[in-house]
Amino acid sequence: MPHSTPHSNSMDPVDQDSTLPDAAPVSLECPGAEDDSLSGSNVVAQGPSNANVKLEDLFDEDDDEEFPSSGASKEGASSSSPPPSPPMIAPSAKYSDPGVMKTFYQRLFPFRYLFQWLNHSMKPSNDFSHREFALTLQNDAYLRYQSFPTSDLLRKDIIDKNPSRFEIGPVYTTNPRDRKTLRKSSAFRPLAKELVFDIDLTDYDEIRTCCDKANICHKCWSFITMAIKVVDVALRDDFGFQHIMWVYSGRRGAHAWISDKRARNMDDQRRRSIAGYLEVIKGGAQSGKKVNVKRPLHPHLARSLDILKEHFQNDVLVQQNPWAKPEKAERLLQLLPDKTLNDALRKKWEAAPGRSSASKWADIDALAKAGASKNLDGKALLEAKQDIVLEYTYPRLDVEVSKKQIHLLKSPFVVHPGTGRVCVPIDTRRVEDFDPLGVPTVTELIHEIDAWGSHHQDADSEGGSKRLQDYEKTRLRPYVDLFRTLVGVLLRAEQGVKRERDDDDPMEF
């Protein structure tokens, strides 16, 4: 990192979402015999072959069955046929129930917009058909190297297999399902993948006092808010990326997906460079000073401090009160450069054991100005305080997630298996307003469809100008609408890139 001094401590190994081993060989002779093979943990089922599908059939807005409505059937349907029934889920049903997940995939998951986002075009292309998907089934079997020519085939397979979650991998040189048929294994390699970043609150356990491990609350979620602000502006202003989507992980963190073509095509070396540029906090919980940056501060760090200083005062000093306990206050003293000043501070705090962290932070400047240390280096104290602010507020990135194209990351809009919450996009224009505990669970969403139907039966039977899709009847609507907007901006940009490339190419005869 250009603004960091060397540090001997290495990052802790990734304990989840890591790159997984190769899958078992694909059976090319019996593509339909899948049932007996799903008990293993690295099984790849042979999917449907690439079919000729009319584009207008895929994207006909007047006949969209991606989000089937539970209202009345369309005009022209047989009058003797009853209207489709709304999903009936028992009140006691858990979000892990297979029936709940199947209903979610059938009625609420935005497969079309996911296809457009990953395909970068309305027309099916290798950006999608050569993309790896990895499915975790209800029995914990894990299917690597799944691929699909169209969004309809992805939707069909997901509904059929009904995974508890699925992950997205890179675009490969060939269809991932065909990798075993290649003469040379080296011919199968990743070509492109969104640049991604992962922020997890468990990495803040040593500084957050309200929760630990998988638990979160509004107080500690502010660390994720800080991280999004700092990383997002760096990606946009320092690297020029425009198509960035932040997604709630479903429990205790957030993922950033950068879809700019330049980002997708980056090799691993460039990805490591960007990750290194953004990495400031280094070392585990038992290490000493975790921030070691050069002076004068890199413009990115100076800007980050300006963003974070208000959060430090309110969210850290007041809400977290990180130095209330004597052993935590001792940690603060270890980060200050003057022993005489430290002794004076320690004496003052021992005389007032209930002193708040905000007061202890103010005591540093008060005793320094009062001459507690005659040999105090004011510049060194200022730099130490800046480093402390960074250590307690700067994003703690799982940089290993960002370094390799082949890394798999949980898809947006899947359901977190531990909480039942949907992994929804975060609107960065109102990032302060995002409430992770208010994100709907899958069972809540299905019951909202039921509730809407019971209150709007007359409207459904009378018909209307536009029949609502099921997601529009639930609290998932603003998140799907945000996703659709971000995808639309990306598609327009990709069309512009294609036009520029076509204009630059010599005419062919």
Q: Which residues are catalytic?
A: 132, 198, 200
| Gap between the Cα atoms of 112 and 259, Å rounded | 17
DSSP code of residue 415: B
Max Cα–Cα distance, the chain, nearest Å: 94
Contact between residue 411 and residue 114 where contact means Cβ atoms under 8 Å apart: yes
Q: Among 58, 167, 175, which Cα is nearest to 123's?
A: 58
Please list, in sequence order, all residues whose beta carbon lies within 8 angstroms of the beta carbon of residue 56, skipping any fewer than 6 positions away: none
Please, how many CA atoms are within 13 Å of residue 279, restricted to the half-sphere of its CB?
23
How many other C-beta atoms lie within 10 A of the C-beta of residue 288? 10
Q: What are phi and psi of 199, to 5 degrees?
A: -125, 125
Please, how many CA atoms are within 13 Å of residue 500, restricted to the half-sphere of its CB?
6
H or E segment to which residue 254 belongs: strand 253-258
Contact between residue 179 and residue 188 where contact means Cβ atoms under 8 Å apart: yes
Residue environment code for 72-108, b if the CB has 16+ CB neighbours within 10 A, otherwise e = bbeeeeeeeeeeeebbebeeebebebeebbbbbbbbb
Q: Letter for the amino acid at 74?
A: K
Measured at the alpha carbon of residue 162, what is the angle toward residues 156 and 168, in degrees to the nearest 5?
A: 80
| Gap between the Cα atoms of 181 and 296, Å rounded | 56
Contact between residue 252 and residue 202 where contact means Cβ atoms under 8 Å apart: yes
| Gap between the Cα atoms of 163 and 155, Å rounded | 12
Length of the chain: 509
Q: Is 4 exposed, middle or buried (0-12, 13-18, 19+ CB in 10 A)?
A: middle
**Sign of the Cα pseudo-torsion (430, 319, 396, 360, in order):** positive
**Sign of the Cα pseudo-torsion (91, 97, 99, 101, in order):** positive
Residue 395, preceding peptide bond in cis (omega within 30° of 0): no
Contact between residue 224 and residue 255 where contact means Cβ atoms under 8 Å apart: no
| Gap between the Cα atoms of 147 and 46, Å rounded | 9
